[in-house]
Structure 1
Amino acid sequence: MPLDPETFDALIAAIRRFVAERLRPLEERVAEEDEVPEEIVREMREMGLFGLSIPEEFGGLGLTMGEEVRVALEFGRTTPAFRSVFGTNVGIGSQGLVMAGSDAQKAEWLPRIASGEIVTSFALTEPGAGSDSASVQTRAVRDGEVYKLSGTKRFITNADKASLFTVMARTGGEGAHGVSAFLVPADLPGVSIGKPEKKMGQQGAHVCDVNFDETPVPVGNRLGEEGEGFKIAMRVLDRGRLHIAAVCVGVAERLIADAVAYASERKQFGKALADFQLVQAMIADSKTEALAARALVLETAERKDTGEPTVLEAAAAKYFASEMVGRVADRAVQIFGGAGYIADYGIERLYRDVRLFRIYEGTSQIQQLVIARETIRNGG
């Protein structure tokens, strides 16, 4: 059930101020230190950001998908690392539990996830399983009332901060039907976390390997039945793709605003860059694409909130929005010219940051396959 309009408008206004006054001034510091300051994390907890998508009965805000993407749009106007602080709690790290968890599992974990006491993480990708997510090799072998979990997960967001992992592991034969999902506390024996990877962009948002060595996971920590893990993962990613698409739109809108401000002030040949038609063409293309992506995201979120299937539409939104923001970032660098290549202006940082959007939560090529498959299945 959506928040009443007045309450939701107040939430958006508070987030907009938080982004503008607290987060944007810290962007360069976070990029240099590769760490989000703890006082910012604390403020995010106090604002309820870790529980945006957690039902109200468990202490969250219980936002609808339409409301969640509006929040994601606002957080797109700063470095994506800030959103990643709570992003796994809102999306891939918690939604498997929300969708498929038992009453006991929800009661045990969701209140602490919503408060930010627990940071969650989603452990699907492996050294040999990325886009081919049905081929995971991490194994969970049942031994009485526990599963012995062994394997390595790679590029896991927030792994070094997480207290709880949703882990996809093989309990049966090959293929998607042999994969099950487990809730794995980080303090169980045999769990070890690798050092944060050095990345092209999104400094401050850490990804690490997670290793499991005969980790004893109680049977009661399995999500759903054996063999349902892949289905749970795909449902989680379906929602996550729409969230990421909204972030892409927010970043694009930030880049357009920065490019327009710079083009209006920068003088060449005796007039502002914004007066040149070829610069105007780049601005026009960027604005048009961002508006189209925004409309697709909001329409798909509304459709999801009515209970309609959105597999195709979520994939299309993520595909179009992530490709769109890459083009907008490239044009922004071009409009800034030499300044766009210099770190002090921040444009080159966002240019690197947005490159990841075309890869995680399913690459653009995976989205194309999903879109084509669903379109053919539905007869066009």
Structure 2
Amino acid sequence: MNAAPPKPVDRQLPSDEARELLVLTRDLVQRELAPRAAADEAAGRFPRDVFRTLGEAGLLSLPYPEAHGGGDQPYEVYLQVLEELAAGWLAVGLGVSVHTLSCHALATFGSDEQRSRWLPGMLGGAQLGAYCLSEPQSGSDAAALRTRAERDGDGYLVNGTKAWITHGGRADFYSAMVRTGEDGPRGISCLLIPGDAANLTAATPEHKMGMNSSPTAQLHFDGVRVDADRLIGEEGQGFQIALSALDSGRLGIAACAIGLAQAALDLAVEYAQTRQQFGRPIADFQGLSFMLADMATQVEAGRSLYLAAARRRDHGLAFSKEAAMAKLFCTDTAMRVTTDAVQVLGGYGYTQDFPAERYMREAKMLQIVEGTNQIQRLVIGRHLTRS
């Protein structure tokens, strides 16, 4: 059976090119992602081939300069592509967001020589990256990281453990924050580490309640040698690089959250229109129609919030507070909307015959990654009260 054509693009977009990009993304989601998402999640299969397909379509490099192999798209457009991918399969949307995050350090803080040397390969579609900040004892307190890189001749020797690494053991490169100096944020630097570096190993992936197609693993650095020319920025600049990356990455998580929430809403609406009780569709009952209305309103509000933050970024304005707000609101929205979707489906929502229960499990993760929502509130509060 031939797949139905993708839905028309009903969005405010800045160009015809952006509209064509959204149509391409919806087509790929319908053909390559949605048909296999449930089975691959149940089996815990990592869809590396899907990322290659997205790379060939140019979807792994959208917000970066064309001169280095990027798509030269504004963040406003990139995030809407990300939302569409996440609506079809969150593990893929999140994976693209993580890859984009892992390229940020080199693209933004690297030298011209470093960018010319490595960025085209990272953006070319064949490689997949990972971002290494968290450790077993330092999650929200990222400045307390312990993984150390000691100078050794014309390079560094890296020892330590990174934790909660998306694509851990599968990535082709890692943007890793390591300690090269004193305790605290001023002693942290950023290294671009090849995925096949000697003495770099990955632990068994974590057993999670959702997102089983997205491997999350610890990385062990046991005397990993890294050439000095793979230092991004200056020694001691790593914490600044990490926070800059996270501001942009939080917008990616917000977009993924709205994609997931939209998928749950679409499922709930379709079910409510076809499920009959007392001789009519359950969508006709006011109590349920009000629930759907609230779900739809929350999704639209979240989309507007992350796009407003993205447009600030595109115009060169400060957006750290707005990124934290978007991440907070959109991921909380995803949790509420997916929970309500389960309720709309009733008993069927609690079974694996429908994806509502998977959406709900996946939404919980989004409230935790790239800064818990409690940390987002802390960030927002500090912006509001600092002099």
TM-score range, shorter chain: over 0.9
Deviations 1:46-104 (A, max 9, x none): 101221223100111122111111111211212211224433222x2110111111112
**Residues in 2 aligned to 1:226 and 1:74: alpha-carbon distance in whole angstroms:** 38
Secondary structure of 1:77 counterpart: helix
Secondary structure of 1:116 counterpart: coil
Aligned ranges 1:151-300 → 2 under 5 Å? 151-300=160-309
Instruction: State the one-letter code of the partner of 2:116.
Output: A
Q: More displaced, 191-200 or 225-234?
A: 191-200
Q: Which residue of 1 aligns with 2:358?
A: 349
Does structure 2 conserve the Cα–Cα contact (< 8 Å) formed by 1:79 and 1:350?
no
Does structure 2 conserve the Cα–Cα contact (< 8 Å) formed by 1:36 and 1:82?
no
Instruction: State the one-letter code of the partner of 1:53.
Output: P
Q: 1:122 aligns with which of 131, 136, 139?
A: 131
Is the aligned partner of 1:70 residue 2:80? yes
Q: 1:30 aligns with which of 27, 31, 40?
A: 40
Instruction: State the one-letter code of the partner of 2:241.
Output: I
Shift of 1:36: 4.0
Q: More displaced, 352-361 or 275-284?
A: 275-284
Q: 2:57 aligns with which of 47, 53, 59?
A: 47
Does structure 2 conserve the Cα–Cα contact (< 8 Å) formed by 1:79 and 1:202?
no
Secondary structure of 1:215 counterpart: strand
Instruction: State the one-letter code of the partner of 2:245.
Output: V
Q: More displaced, 300-309 or 181-190?
A: 181-190
Is the aligned partner of 1:370 residue 2:379? yes
* Structure 1 unmatched runs, 5+: none
Q: Which residue of 1 aligns with 2:312?
A: 303
Deviations 1:136-188 (A, max 9, x none): 00011112221111000011011222121111111111111111111111222
Shift of 1:4: 7.7
Q: More displaced, 40-49 or 55-64?
A: 40-49
Does structure 1 conserve the Cα–Cα contact (< 8 Å) formed by 2:86 and 2:92?
no
**Residues in 1 aligned to 2:260 and 2:93: alpha-carbon distance in whole angstroms:** 12
**Residues in 2 aligned to 1:307 and 1:45: alpha-carbon distance in whole angstroms:** 27
**Residues in 1 aligned to 2:127 and 2:33: alpha-carbon distance in whole angstroms:** 22
Does structure 2 conserve the Cα–Cα contact (< 8 Å) formed by 1:50 and 1:113?
no
Aligned ranges 1:76-115 → 2 under 5 Å? 76-90=86-100, 92-115=101-124
Q: Which residue of 1 aligns with 2:27?
A: 17
Aligned residues: 375
* Structure 2 unmatched runs, 5+: 1-12
Shift of 1:270: 2.2
**Residues in 2 aligned to 1:318 and 1:72: alpha-carbon distance in whole angstroms:** 14
Does structure 1 conserve the Cα–Cα contact (< 8 Å) formed by 2:338 and 2:359?
yes
Shift of 1:117: 2.3
1:192/1:37 CA distance change after superposition, 3 Å = closer
Instruction: State the one-letter code of the partner of 1:131.
Output: S
Instruction: State the one-letter code of the partner of 2:218.
Output: D
Secondary structure of 1:130 counterpart: coil
Deviations 1:22-49 (A, max 9, x none): 2111112211221244543332121012
**Residues in 1 aligned to 2:46 and 2:329: alpha-carbon distance in whole angstroms:** 29
**Residues in 1 aligned to 2:36 and 2:126: alpha-carbon distance in whole angstroms:** 24
Secondary structure of 1:285 counterpart: helix
Q: Which residue of 1 aligns with 2:147?
A: 138
**Residues in 1 aligned to 2:182 and 2:304: alpha-carbon distance in whole angstroms:** 42
Identity %: 37
Shift of 1:373: 0.2
- Cα RMSD after superposing both structures: 1.5
Q: More displaced, 24-33 or 80-89?
A: 80-89
Is the aligned partner of 1:314 residue 2:323? yes
